[in-house]
Amino acid sequence: MIIRLVCCALAICLGLSGAQAQTNAAPLQSVLQANADAVANPSRGTVDGLVAALLAADLPTVPVFLERWRDRAVYLRASDGLFYYATQVEGGYALTDVDSGADLGRVAAAEMTELRPNAGVRRVIGSALVAFQLLDDDPARRMAALDAIDRSPAEDQLEPLRLSIADEADPLLKARKIRLERLLAARFGETAEVRIAAIESLRGDLGVDARAVLNLILSTTPAVFAELPSDRNIAAVLEPGSDALSEAEAYARLVEADLAPPLTGVAAIRDALIAAIADGQVAGIPVASLTTDAAREAAYEALAATGVVPPLVTLEDQAAALAAHHFVLLYAEPDPAITAAAEETLEAISLKVNLNQTADLALDGLSLASIYFLAAIGLAITFGVMGVINMAHGEFIMMGAYTGYVVQLFIPDYTLSLIVALPLAFAVTFGAGVAMERLVIRWLYHRPLETLLATFGISIALQQLAKNIFGTQARPLTSPEWLSGTLTFNEVVSISMIRVAIFVLALIFLGLLIYILKRTRLGLEVRAVTQNPGMAASMGINPDRINMLTFGLGSGIAGIAGVAIGLYAKVTSEMGSEYIVQSFMTVVVGGVGNVWGTLAGATLIGFLQKGIEFFNPSNTLAAQTYMILFIILFIQFRPKGIIALKGRAAGD
């Protein structure tokens, strides 16, 4: 009833001009007085007529009244029988006129009666409010109405929503209205054809609410029949004893439906026999002979024949009863054509969701691979060219992140601070790397164990130095606003803008390093020293200088990686240690001293870790453990990595 009333009133509202409506409209108080009993004592039987009268009045004050009435802020004054908005104050109520909104002063509490519509009435009021809000001039109120429909969809919202679509000027709101109309029509459409068309229109919709609507249509309830009915929409026939339905559960359904008596258990037989003992006998059978299950069952049957106890129901009786009945799941939707359309649509959506989840997983893997590439590329240069196991590489990442934090302290513009921080982080860590190479590493060439221990000690010292300067709490490295959002492709596939920026930065560094190594004199000398340092020295190249610059370059790149990583990870003194293991794995798996190998290693490890986390999302540590085990197996079969180093040094 309320649907027709709301639709008629909306049609009137849409057909009248604002000036004409105001000319013909009666004041709100007059409408309320004409329906005073329905306002003061609302019920499901009277609310439809009252709401229709309010809608037909076409007054701008009606939506406010409906909101206040629903929220129990409308009061009746006994002295004049008029309705007011009231708020409780000390000593009584402050009154507001329902037409003008004017303050009417205060009255004693005894004069006012609060109107308290019940839950059913409030639902009707809410539906009428949605009809008004969908046509409101304020886009925010129209959006709020759509949110209300989204939260609590109902049949009486469908027609008002349809009527509001044609005049919707906002393209985003119009698109959302059309989609909501499809969701409501799938459940509450007037005919099967309308519902099926709405269901099929959802085939490409990846929204969770679309799948929820289809699952509601496909909801089932268990039932049991002696003969399979031909007039019921059966979803599945269940076999007792299968995984879907145990024999005990199936028989319990028969008992619950009064289609079979309860199974007589051992305890019930024992209790009945004990209660029936008289003169050492049970139904004429000596108690001393009741030593077997068969004897006790025979005695129980003798008692049942006299009507003292219920008939004996054995496991054989249970099996016979189960065989004589059919256990099914019935669709709540009676029309098979509608459920068939819903199943096909849900299957199509599920396939599309799986494909998009795969794409989302690939994006996550690509993002993680770009992070590992940035973290490892500097190590690949130093380890590949110099053969130095630099355990302090993670601390250069940490130094770069703290450099970005310090820059933001002096430059509050996050975009400008990021532009300044990247080259400054490179300069700081380049200088630190050169100093480390000149003071420590150069004295330990060809002594890998001593180099490892020395760099490990430097790593601990740098961590402690960072704690002394910046403290133990995580420091914020805030990204610019244009990097704070998410790049969303659809309901399933999305990626944060920071990770997109890191991916782009990784591509830039990949291109820059390839250019340096392939197109510059420094790159030529680095490749020469990498492949054969002795021959390079005989050709006039200074290996000592190349080692220094190479170590500084690798350290500088680690600093830039620290700024990028710090934008989404916490900046602490221990942050570098979180990436040192992955960096070494990336270099070793990809191939020592090769940029393309580092890229391949980062890609393999990134995708592998995300793949393992997909199957075990609750345990990241386990995923990393499985990944390390896989890497160990991998290097057993390919010890030189994915892309092995070429030249004489490859045999070293």
pLDDT tens string 536-590: 888 888 888 888 888 898 899 999 999 999 988 889 998 888 888 888 888 888 8
What pLDDT is recorded for position 337?
95
* Closest by Cα among 503, 507, 525, 506 to 516: 525
CB 407 within 8 A of CB 517: no
Residue 385 pLDDT: 64
The region of weakest confidence among 229-233, 263-267, 362-366 is 263-267
Contacts of 477 (CB under 8 A, 6+ apart): 401, 404, 405, 408, 563, 566, 567, 571
Q: pLDDT-based confidence at 617, cuts 50/70/90? A: low
Mean pLDDT score of the chain, rounded to an integer? 85
**What distances in angstroms separate CA 459 from CA 218, 436, 448, 454, 525, one per listed residue?**
60, 11, 16, 9, 29
How many whole angstroms separate alpha carbon 550 and alpha carbon 562?
A: 18
pLDDT-wise least confident of 403-407, 449-453, 512-516, 641-645: 641-645
CA proximity to 436, closest of 559, 532, 575: 559
pLDDT value, residue 491: 81
pLDDT single digits (tens) 10-23: 443 433 333 333 33
What's the rounded Cα separation, in Å, for the pair 202 and 395? Answer: 52
Give the C-alpha separation, 203 to 530, whole Å. 57
Residue 14: CB atoms within 10 A of its CB come to 12
Asked if the model's pLDDT at residue 9 lies above 50, the reply is: no
Average pLDDT over residues 220-225: 92
pLDDT range class, residue 286, cuts 50, 70, 90: confident
pLDDT digits (tens, 9 = 90+) for 512-551: 888 888 888 888 888 787 777 778 888 888 888 888 888 8
pLDDT digits (tens, 9 = 90+) for 90-114: 888 999 998 888 888 889 888 899 8
Give pLDDT, residue 23.
Answer: 35
Residue 406 has pLDDT above 80, yes or no: yes
**Residue 476 burial (C-beta neighbours within 10 Å; 0-12, 13-18, 19+):** exposed
**344 and 569 in contact (C-beta within 8 Å)?**
no
Q: How confident is the model at residue 411 (pLDDT cuts 50, 70, 90)?
A: very high
pLDDT-derived band at 593, boundaries 50, 70, 90: low
Residue 651 has pLDDT above 60, yes or no: no
Phi–psi pair at 89, nearest 5 degrees: -130, 175
Strand partners, 83: 76
Q: State the helix-helix crossing angle for 393-410 and 543-566, rounded to 10 degrees.
A: 60
For the segment 426-454, the average pLDDT, to the nearest whole number, is 90
Q: What pLDDT score does 19 carry?
A: 33
Widest CA span in the chain: 121
End-to-end CA distance of the chain: 89
**Is 648 a residue whose pLDDT tops 60?**
no
Q: What is the average pLDDT across 212-238?
A: 92
Q: What is the pLDDT of residues 460-504, one digit of tens each?
A: 999 999 999 999 888 888 888 888 888 888 888 888 888 898 899
Rg, the chain, Cα only? 39
What's the confidence (pLDDT) of residue 454?
93
Please check the confidence at residue 417 and state whether its pLDDT lies above 90.
yes
Mean pLDDT of 393-414: 93
Which residues are 234's β-sheet partners? 330
**Identity of the residue numbered 62:** V
Half-sphere exposure of residue 589: CA atoms within 13 angstroms, side-chain side:
26
In one letter, which amino acid is 116?
A: R
Distance of CA 377 to CAs 244, 438, 645, Å? 54, 21, 15
Task: Provide the β-strand partners of residue 86.
Answer: 95
Q: Would you state the pLDDT for residue 402?
A: 95
**What whole-number percentage of the chain has pLDDT above 70?**
93
